[in-house]
Amino acid sequence: MIAEIPMSESEISRLLDDIVEIHYGYIDMGYAWLFPKREYISAGIGGRLIKAKTLIQRLRSYLRSHGLRDDVRVRGCFLPISRFRHNVYAERLMLTGDAAGFVDSFSGEGIRWAILSGKIAARTAIRCHEKNRFSADEFKEYQDQCFSNFGADLLRSAKLADRLFGHPWILLKTALINDRILKMHLKTITGEISFREYADWVRIRFPLFFIKRFFSPKKENTSKPTHCSLL
């Protein structure tokens, strides 16, 4: 669910100071966000389809909790996360981007995968045209290349999302209050490292971070949901 809250540039910079905020804990298996724009704040909340009916109310209460007006138009959008469960090719056909379900389970990002799959599809189409062969078998290579380029990474991210969102107060919170994990996570968003590298890095260190969390409880804010601001 997304909403635009109109406001002056100075008010936006007072509230958000050019920082994108991402808040975990307002919804199971998802997050809420505030993005500063020139003439409005773009706010949203995203989670599993099964919770869709509650999302409008949750977004409005999220806006109120940040001192923002909640009498704005709320629009719904669908993120088609497919996790490579079905084929994305057939005779004379390739599905790319959202149509193929190439969306990251953790962040909901899809632009990067739409561009990548589009490029792979274009190269495949040229090859098939040159060979003048358009059977499903010819297009299977497109799916294989998508998987080896970024599919395995998307699946790894999905697994991590299931684990972290499935145990928000134990695993997700440990991850979010740890600066080192958060910094590594941001590197996946900027594309500096792959989700596979991130997951391997976290898996080895997580037990230590988890133990540390309980030996330095002062850092925790137990009265509110897990909250972090990402640059």
Ligand X SMILES: Cc1cc2nc3c(=O)[nH]c(=O)nc-3n(C[C@H](O)[C@H](O)[C@H](O)COP(=O)(O)OP(=O)(O)OC[C@H]3O[C@@H](n4cnc5c(N)ncnc54)[C@H](O)[C@@H]3O)c2cc1C
For ligand X, the binding residues (CB under 6 A) are 2, 44, 77, 79, 97-99, 103, 108-112, 114
CB closer to ligand X out of 81 and 175: 81
CB-closest chain residue to ligand X: 110
CB closer to ligand X out of 83 and 112: 112
Minimum gap (Å) between residue 158 Cβ and ligand X: 15
CB closer to ligand X out of 25 and 108: 108
164: Cα separation from own chain's centroid: 13
- 24 bridge partner residues: 31
Minimum gap (Å) between residue 164 Cβ and ligand X: 19
Minimum gap (Å) between residue 30 Cβ and ligand X: 12
CB closer to ligand X out of 79 and 125: 79
Minimum gap (Å) between residue 67 Cβ and ligand X: 22
How many other β-carbons are positioned within 10 Å of the β-carbon of residue 58? 17
CB closer to ligand X out of 116 and 171: 116
CB closer to ligand X out of 98 and 177: 98
| Structure-block tokens of residue 74 | 């709320």
Minimum gap (Å) between residue 221 Cβ and ligand X: 26
Minimum gap (Å) between residue 210 Cβ and ligand X: 30
